Chains A and B, each alone.
Chain A
Amino acid sequence: MRVLVTGLSTFWGGRLAQTLEAREDVEVIVGLDTKEPRVPLERTEFVRADSSYSILQRIVKATQVDTILHTHLIVDSTRVSGRTLHEINVIGTMNLLAAAGMPGSPVRKVIVKSSGLIYGASSHDPYFFREDAHRLVSPRTNVERSLVEVESFLRDFASDNPHISVNLLRFANVLGDHLDSPFSQALRLAVVPEILGFDPRLQFVHEADVVGALMYATGHDVPGVFNVAGDGNIPWSEVCKIVGKRRIPLPPILTNFAAEPLRMLGIVNLPPEMLDLLRFGRGLDNRRYKKAGFRYRYSTAGTIEAFAQGIRLKRTVGTNSPAYRYEREVEDFFRHSPAVARRE
C-alpha cells in the first residue's frame, strides 16, 4: 500500500502518518503540507507543497500512491481566516480530487475526514442524524458552507470514478489529551460557558477512535458515507460535571454578541457553530460504521472521562514534554544517507 496523507503538519496528519508507519503493509507514506511536520516521523516522506493542481498531479504520478488520506479539512473556524479556510477546504480538495481522478491515475482509494458540522444544529433537527439526512436549515457559517461544497465534489468524484473506492467519514466533536479544539479549550477553562436555559445533549469521539476509524477505512474496503461518534449522548451540564468545572451562562438572546468580548480578550474561542451546538446539541447515528465492522474504543461518556483524567494529570505534572522540531537535513540524512545502516 502506498499512501498519500494531506495535512501532514496538522494534528491528524501527523497522527495518521505515525500510525501508518507502524504497519508493515504500508510501503510508502508521502505527507503533504505547507508547513513542517510537528511530530517525529521515521519513514514518512514530507513534501512541502501548496495544493495547486499541477504539483499534486506530479506528486501522485511520481509516487504512484494508491490510497489518499485527505485529513486536511479545517473544521475549526477559529484557526484560520475565512479566506484561507476556503482555499484549504474547497480549492485544496478540488485540486486533490482532480489529481486523483486524472487519466492513468494510480489512486484506488480516497478517504476523507469530514465533520458532523455538515448537518448543522437547529431546532428542526432529528436527535440522531443518519448519513443520508438532509439538513433543513441552509449552512450559515463559513466552515459549514465549505464542507457542503467539499462533500458535493466528493459525490461527483465518486460517480465519475467508479473504480475508486471513496470513503467519507463525518466525525462528532473530538476530545483527547492532545487535540486542541474549541470544545477542549472551553473545557480547560476555569469556568465553562453555557447558554442560559439550554442544556443540549452532545456526542464526542475520542482522538484515538478518530485515528482508528480512518485506519479502519485504510485497511478495509468500506466505501460510502459514515458517521463516527462515541455511543450515547450527554447533556452539557453533565459534561462539565465530569470534567469538574463550574459553568457561566451566556444570555440566550444576542448570544453571539455577548460572546464577542470573550473572543476579543482571547479567553475562549466560541465560533458560531459551537454556540449553535451549545443551544441545540447534535447527535449522530453511529450504527452504520459499526455495521461495517468498525469497533469503537470509547463511548461518549468514556471519551469525556478520559479527557477529564488527562486534565487532572496535566494539572499535576504539567506539559513539559520536549517539543519536536523538524530539521530537513537530519530527516534527509536518516532516510537517504548511505551511512545509515538499514535492516533487510
Chain B
Amino acid sequence: MEREGEQEIEAAQHAERNGATDIAFTPPAELVPVPFTGNQNGRPEASPARFDSPRRSDVDRWGRSEKTRSIVRSIYEPLYKHWFRVEWEGFENLPKEGGALLVANHAGAIPSDAPAIMHGIERDLGRPVYGLAEYLFRRMPVVGTMWSRVGGVAANPDNAYRLLKDDKELVLVFPEGAKGTGKLYKDRYQLARFGRGGFVEIAMRAGVPIIPIAVVGAEESMPIIWKNKPLARLTGIPYFPITANMLALGPLLGAVGYFPSKFKIRVLPPIYFSDEPDEERYSRSRVMDATESVRTEIQDALYDMLRTRKSVWFG
C-alpha cells in the first residue's frame, strides 16, 4: 500500500533519529496499566471495564441497513420478477465468502442495472452487496441517505479497499460511471472508457478477484434520446436526459417509469491477479492492460448475448 509504505518509512526514519532499534509503532512488550482519569474531585473512577452498548438501529459502519434493505427488496421483488424478468447465467461464479470486486456495464438514464444486480445477489446468495457510486449522492438530501441505507458507498479508493480487504465484502462498481448511463440510445452496448483503471488497482491492492458482469436489457429500459447541456449545468448533475420514457409516458411518469425490457445478466469467471497485494505501487501499464482485458471480456460477452437475443422485450 502506497500510504502504508510511507508510514513505515516515516516510522523507521523516526526510530533511526531516536537511535532506537525497533520500529516506532510496535507495541511495548508489557503494557503498563495507565491510571484512568480522576473525576472532578481527583478520585480515580472505579471500574476499568470496557464500556460498550447495544445499538438501537442496524445501520452498519458503511451506512447500510439490512432492515431498510429487506423492505426495499420486498418492494422491488415484483419489478424484478415480473417487469424485468431477470435471468442469471453463471451465478455460480459469485463467491459465497471473501471479498470480490464485481465489475459491470452501466446503462439507463437512471441506471436500472445496479438494483437488479444487487437484488439478485442478496436474494439468492444471501450476501450484502455494496455499490460504489458518485460522490454526488452524498450531497443530496433524503436521496443520499436512502442510497446509503440500501448499500451505496461513495466511490473513494480507501472505502473500496477497506470493504474488500478488511470487511471481505462484495463490492459492485461501474467503471464507466456517468459516461455509461449518460450515453445516447444509438451508442447502446458500446462500453465507454473504463476510467483510469482505479478499480483494477484496488482489487490488486486488496488481493481480491474481479468478477466481470455483463448486463443486457438496462439500455432499453430507459434510453436517452437527447441530452440538454444548459439544464445539466443549471442543476449541477452530470447530464440532463430526455428519455424515450418521457416522450411515451409524459415528463413525470417517464422520469421514473422503466420500459419492461427483458434483463439478462451473465456472470463471467473471476479474474485473479498474480500481483502481490499491498504493493507500494503497481505498474501503470500492468493496470491499464488488466483494465482493458476486463473491458474486452464484458464487451465480448455483451456482443455474444446480443447475438442470441431475439426480442428486446422477451429475450
Contact = CB atoms under 8 A, between A and B. Distances in A.
Interface of A: 15, 18-19, 21-23, 39-42, 123-128, 130-133, 158, 162-163, 165, 178, 195-199, 201, 206-208, 211-212, 215-216, 219-224, 231-235, 237-238, 241-242, 252, 280, 283, 288, 291-293, 295-299, 301-306, 321
B35 A222 contact: no
Interface of B: 3, 6-7, 10-11, 14, 17-18, 20, 24-25, 27-28, 31-32, 34-38, 40-42, 44-45, 48-57, 59, 61-63, 135-136, 138-145, 153-154, 156-159, 162
Given A224-B11, A305-B51, A196 B18 contact: no
Contacts of A283: 61
B38 A22 contact: yes
A291 B141 contact: no
Nearest to A134: B3
A133 B262 CA distance: 44
B42 A127 contact: no
Given A123-B139, A124-B135, A238 B55 contact: yes
A126 B156 contact: yes
B53 A305 contact: yes
B12 to A, nearest CB: 11
B35 A131 contact: no
Nearest to B156: A126
A126 B32 CA distance: 34
Q: Which of A207, A223, A252 has the most CB of B within 10 A?
A: A223
A232 B59 contact: no
A23 B35 contact: yes
Contacts of B153: 127
Contacts of B32: 219-220
B159 A127 contact: yes
A306 B51 contact: yes
A40 B42 contact: yes
B35 A132 contact: no
- CB-based closest 7 A-B pairs: A197-B141, A162-B17, A293-B27, A126-B158, A305-B53, A302-B51, A197-B142
B56 A242 contact: yes
A19 B37 contact: yes
User: What is the interface of chain B mostly: helix, strand, loop, or mixed?
Assistant: loop
Given A126-B159, A221-B24, A288-B25, 13 more contacts: A15-B38, A23-B35, A123-B139, A124-B156, A126-B158, A127-B61, A127-B162, A128-B61, A215-B35, A219-B34, A223-B18, A233-B61, A235-B59
Contacts of A197: 140-145
A130 B34 contact: no
Contacts of B142: 196-197
B36 A208 contact: yes
Given A132-B6, A219-B32, A39 B24 contact: no
Nearest to B7: A132
Contacts of B62: 127
B158 A130 contact: yes
A220 B14 CA distance: 15
A199 B56 contact: no
B53 A133 contact: no
B154 A127 contact: yes
A130 B56 CA distance: 27
Contact of A127 (B36, B54, B156): B156
